[in-house]
Amino acid sequence: MAEVKRELYKIEISVHASPALLYNYISTPEGLSEWFAEQVNPLKNQRFEFTWEGTKQIANVLKLVSNKLVKFQWVDGSAEEYFEIEIIKDEMTNDVALVITDFSDPSEREENIMVWESQVHILRENIGA
């Protein structure tokens, strides 16, 4: 049976907070532990260990751009795949949003989007946005 190719998708979720505040929540173990995973620990060489319900996953930090984005790649994942959280600000309206880029099986895409939306909802509650 042929393996289903995972597909890239992007979602944009409005967040009423400053890019500097959001950057702390998307780029540090402490910030990510507030909304993304139950626990996030820094490891050597730009790696983070994420824990959900006792399951641990390690990701490499591929890219950091201050007050703008963070890009991760799961150590046990595909070399072509990553997930990225980018902060965008509309210069006209000053609206701020997170643009999340991730990969999923086509059949799981909607479920994965709902998980991201749920996680960002927790982030919004934590920062009062």
Q: How many residues does the chain have?
A: 129
Query: Domain coordinates of the chain in residue numbers?
Result: 7-36+63-127
Say what the pLDDT of residue 26 is: 96
What is the average pLDDT across 2-14? 88
Does pLDDT of 1 surpass 60? no
Beta-carbon count within 10 A of 64 CB = 13
What is the average pLDDT across 1-12? 84
Say what the pLDDT of residue 2 is: 55
pTM: 0.92
Q: What topology is assigned to 7-36+63-127 in CATH?
A: Alpha-D-Glucose-1,6-Bisphosphate; Chain A, domain 4 (3.30.530)
Burial class from Cβ neighbours inside 10 Å (0-12, 13-18, 19+) for residue 49 reads middle
Say what the pLDDT of residue 128 is: 85
Say what the pLDDT of residue 73 is: 97
Please, which pLDDT band fits residue 3 given cuts at 50, 70 and 90?
low
Closest CA to 119 of 6, 8, 7, 13: 13
Say what the pLDDT of residue 67 is: 95
